[in-house]
Amino acid sequence: MLCACTFQTKHRGYVFPADLESEIASIKTTSQLQDEIGAPQVKTIYGDTVWIYYGADENYRGPLKKTYTNRTVLLAWVNGNRVTQTRVLHDADLPHVMIDEGETEIPAAIELNAIQELFNNVGRFTPAGLGQ
């Protein structure tokens, strides 16, 4: 029981500088943004073009459910090669979102049953030792 009481924190996503707001205040172009922060994790495909950056600390506390702290989201509105607006959201600014345990359906995905999967893989693999 004692060995299950581990305390560990892992960083997920971007590691933002401590002075993120002042760092991004002078950014006017997407190339500057990529040089300072990096490539975005997500770009919106509907509505305004927004580049989204996310970083958080994932805390493990033994058998308890993992928690997230120091969550930070950087939103950058992009128009062509220009950054028109930026916004930084921290823990208190973010809504509490419940993550669904299900899977996201992929548009136009082909669903195969076990028999179809088996026949679909016939001929794809070579026997070991043939060097192909």
What pLDDT, in 10s, does the model give residues 5-31?
668 888 888 888 888 888 888 899 999
In a domain? residue 64: yes
DSSP labels, 59-91: EEETTSPPEEEEEEEEEEEEETTEEEEEEEE-G
Which range marks the domain in which residue 21 is found?
2-96
pLDDT tens digits, one per residue of 34-59: 998 889 998 988 888 999 999 888 88
125 located within any domain: no
Residue 9, CB-side half-sphere exposure with 13 Å CA sphere: 7
119 inside domain: no
Question: How does pLDDT run across 115-125, given as a tens digit for each residue?
Answer: 888 887 777 76
Q: In this predicted structure, what is the pLDDT of residue 93?
A: 81
Q: Report if residue 26 sits inside a domain.
A: yes
d(CA 46, CA 53) in angstroms, rounded, equals 17
List Cα–Cα distances, 38 to 13, 31, 32, 95, in angstroms.
11, 9, 9, 25
Model-level pTM?
A: 0.62
Residue 78 CB-density burial (10 A; 0-12 exposed, 13-18 middle, 19+ buried): buried
Q: How many domains does the chain have?
A: 1
Q: Taking phi first (over 0 means left), then psi (-120 to 50 degrees means alpha), and beta for anything else, what does residue 66 get?
A: beta
Q: Is residue 124 part of a domain?
A: no
